[in-house]
Structure 1
Amino acid sequence: MKKSLLVFFMLFAFHCNSQTLETVSKLKTSYQHCLDTGVGMRNCSVEYYNQSDSLLNVTYKNLKLKLSSKEQSKLKKEQLDWIKKRDLYFEKVYSDTKKEGNFSEGSLDFDMVVYDEKANYVFGRVKELIRRI
């Protein structure tokens, strides 16, 4: 329940055009603090990824609102192309992590590494979109 409320308030804050590069930095700091506790580190990574995805959706919508119809169509095509690249990148992250052999596939550490890489990739796109708002 607490996580649901936290996500709601975060999304509300982001929806109010408060997303900035500072927001991304604060989420990264919060994530690092969670990891530093050494407890539930996989959950920290999953939450970090979910935050990146939520912020991406809100940022995309806010940018879209500021564009003309023609620019919105261009942005949509760009985003669909990015999603294809993202999916390929996510597959590569998974296979590379598996090949490295540092963690057993499906282990909590394996998942943590994969979610961390996914989140960082998505936050890269979030930063690109924020700079355009």
Structure 2
Amino acid sequence: MKRFILCLPLCICMNVFAQTSKSAVDSLEKRYQLCLAEGKSQYNCALQYYTQMDSLLNTVYRQLYDNLDNNRRATLQISQTQWEERRQTYFKDIDLRVEKKRPQTLAGLDDDMIVTDNKAAFLKTRVMELLASKHS
């Protein structure tokens, strides 16, 4: 019973963090959509969204890591390393595809905006995975 009572504040804290982080994801998404709706410099909107999502990913990972025991930390580190390898491969592939098609598309930042948006979506998926792992 004492363990349950001691664990309860931690569980409540973890749930509050998950809700806060989910709110942060939603807030970033909303600001991004509003920026895009303005119709100005959509590449800058995507770049800002990507940068903010990357920062949120780092924050969520760090907070999750700090709240785990050593065994679960090791598992998380392995998972993160594997994800980082997938990210590197995905980013390289998407950049190569765009560079191949660039001569066929109109000049401008549209291709860069789309690539940056796709990269941000990749990061967002990882943020959501990490948030979901808190509940398992």
TM above 0.5, yes or no, is yes
- 66-75 or 19-28, which deviates more: 19-28
Once the two structures are superposed, the pairs formed by residues 74-85 of structure 1 within 5 Å of their partners are 74-85=75-86
Contact in 1 for aligned 2:21/2:60 (Cα 8 Å)? no
Which residue of structure 2 aligns with residue 10 of structure 1?
A: none
Q: Name 2:29's counterpart in structure 1.
A: 28
Alpha-carbon deviations, 1:28-85, whole Å to 9, x = none? 1110110111112111000000011000000001111121111111111110110010
The runs of 5 or more residues in structure 2 that have no matched partner are 1-15
Q: Gaps (5+ residues) in structure 1?
A: 1-15
Q: Paired residue for 1:55?
A: 56
Q: Normalising by structure 1, what TM-score?
A: 0.78
Q: Is the 8 A contact 1:103 1:109 kept in 2?
A: no
Where has structure 1 moved over 4 Å in runs of 4 or more? none
- C-alpha contact 1:19 1:59 (8 A) present in aligned 2: no
Bigger Rg, which one: 2
Q: Distance in 2 between matches of 1:130 and 1:115?
A: 23
Amino acid at match of 2:105: F
TM-score (norm 2): 0.77
